[in-house]
């Protein structure tokens, strides 16, 4: 009988050894945007929205995602590291390496590694702000009308991102002796001995897949006539509720800056989103003016 899963994957594909490589985590990000694009194309077609609005939506969403996710990682999880003479690494996808250079030698002493560390809480803030600007300046529709559709895409994208985390052996779970426990062979020694752990990335990925299907069902079942904001409220409550619960099975991430009672940073940051979801759900039923 298999006692645990021995996970030792290839994390990147190298081209021109030492010059260029593509990480599977990065591919999952690209795949999430591609699938999101096609699903949103289908949604816009159903809602009779001109397809010309898709290009600016992609630009706004990509910028909101990466800027928000990176700043969230810097301020919520690794502020001590970046504030200790590592601010340049917060803005560029590099780490210190005296033998390397970046941008054709213009930035010496650093190696290109891609962005290591992106916060989903920060990404949510970034996407929310960029979507608000897009809805006001480009689409000219109610912000929550857009949110009801983008949250479906966000849930689907989260599925792929957590799969990328699984390949990177990051955001690992606490030790476990369950039959499906995973021994992350490529994990660093931050948490001590490499032993079987909960595959929390897969737990989250499966949870987000079910949430995506649930939201898609609500969107397609148009005869229910759910008010504007309803799907967004369900999204915030279910997705961040799942995140809150699964945090109990995770090891700490970086130098977490926020703690309250028994809760870690991820849980503390999830609570406002859950409350926001309840707020949206309640007031959308009341048909307040800002939801119409």
Six token digits for residue 134: 């897009």
Q: Give CA 22 to chain center in angstroms.
A: 19
Q: Give CA 54 to chain center in angstroms.
A: 21
Q: What is the rounded distance in angstroms from the CA atom of residue 204 to the CA atom of residue 244?
A: 11
pLDDT exceeds 60 at position 105: no
pLDDT score, position 55: 93
Nearest-CA neighbor of 24 among 155, 162, 191, 204?
A: 162
pLDDT in tens, 143-179: 999 999 999 999 999 999 999 999 988 888 999 988 8
pLDDT in tens, 224-253: 567 888 999 999 999 999 999 999 999 887
* Residue range 80-92: mean pLDDT, rounded: 75
Six token digits for residue 32: 């999430």
The SS3 of residue 19 is coil
Six token digits for residue 283: 């007031």
pLDDT in tens, 57-70: 999 999 999 899 88
């Amino acid at each position: 009988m298999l006692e645990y899963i021995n996970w030792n994957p290839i994390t990147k594909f190298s081209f021109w050894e030492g010059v260029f490589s593509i990480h599977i985590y990065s591919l999952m990000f690209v795949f999430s945007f591609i699938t999101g694009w096609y699903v949103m194309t289908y949604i816009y077609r159903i809602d009779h929205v001109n397809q010309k609005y898709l290009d600016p939506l992609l630009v706004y969403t990509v910028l909101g995602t990466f800027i928000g996710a990176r700043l969230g990682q810097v301020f919520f999880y690794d502020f001590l590291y970046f504030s200790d003479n590592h601010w340049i690494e917060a803005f560029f996808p590099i780490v210190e390496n005296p033998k390397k250079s970046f941008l054709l030698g213009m930035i010496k002493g650093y190696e290109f590694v891609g962005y290591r560390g992106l916060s989903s809480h920060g990404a949510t803030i970034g996407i929310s702000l960029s979507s608000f600007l897009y809805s006001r300046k480009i689409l000219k529709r109610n912000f929550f009308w857009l949110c009801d559709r983008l949250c479906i895409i966000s849930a689907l994208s989260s599925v792929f991102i957590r799969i990328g985390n699984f390949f990177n052996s990051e955001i690992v779970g606490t030790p476990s002796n369950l039959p499906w426990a995973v021994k992350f062979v490529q994990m660093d020694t931050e948490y001590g001995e490499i032993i079987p752990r909960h595959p929390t990335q897969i737990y989250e990925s499966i949870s987000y897949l079910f949430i995506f299907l649930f939201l898609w069902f609500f969107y397609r079942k148009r005869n229910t006539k759910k008010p504007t904001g309803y799907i967004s409220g369900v999204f915030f409550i279910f997705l961040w509720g799942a995140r809150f619960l699964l945090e109990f099975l995770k090891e700490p991430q970086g130098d977490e800056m926020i703690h309250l009672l028994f809760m870690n940073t991820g849980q503390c940051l999830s609570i406002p989103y859950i409350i926001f979801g309840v707020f949206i759900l309640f007031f959308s039923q009341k048909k307040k003016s800002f939801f119409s």
